[in-house]
Amino acid sequence: MKNTLEITSLFTRALTEILAKVSGFTLEPVQAPPDAPISSVAGVIHLNGAGDLPGSTLIISASDGDARVLCSYMTGAAQNAFSRDDLGDALCEIANMLAGNVKLLTGASFSPSTPYAIFGEGMSVSTKRRIGIIQLHLACDALSVKLKVILGG
Contact flag: residue 80 with other proteins (CB under 8 A): no
Contact flag: residue 104 with other proteins (CB under 8 A): yes
Contact flag: residue 74 with other proteins (CB under 8 A): yes
Closest CB 21 distance from other proteins, rounded Å:
4
Nearest residue to 139 (alpha-carbon basis) of 32, 7, 8: 32
* Buried-state track 64-92, b at ≥16 Cβ within 10 A, e below 16: eebbbbbbbbbeeeeeeebeeebbbbbbb
How far is 139 from 28, CA to CA, in rounded Å?
A: 5
How far is 115 from 42, CA to CA, in rounded Å?
A: 10
Contact flag: residue 21 with other proteins (CB under 8 A): yes
Contact flag: residue 60 with other proteins (CB under 8 A): no
- One-letter identity of residue 102: V
Contact flag: residue 77 with other proteins (CB under 8 A): yes
Contact flag: residue 112 with other proteins (CB under 8 A): yes
DSSP 3-state of 140: coil
Instruction: Give residues with Cβ within 8 angstroms of 1, minimum separation 6.
Output: 52, 53, 151, 153
Closest CB 93 distance from other proteins, rounded Å:
4
Contact flag: residue 92 with other proteins (CB under 8 A): yes
Contact flag: residue 93 with other proteins (CB under 8 A): yes
Among 29, 49, 63, 101, binds other proteins (CB under 8 A): 101
Contact flag: residue 100 with other proteins (CB under 8 A): yes
- One-letter identity of residue 140: C
Q: Which residues bind other proteins (CB under 8 A)?
A: 17-18, 21-22, 71, 74-77, 85-86, 89-90, 92-93, 96-97, 99-101, 103-104, 107, 112, 114
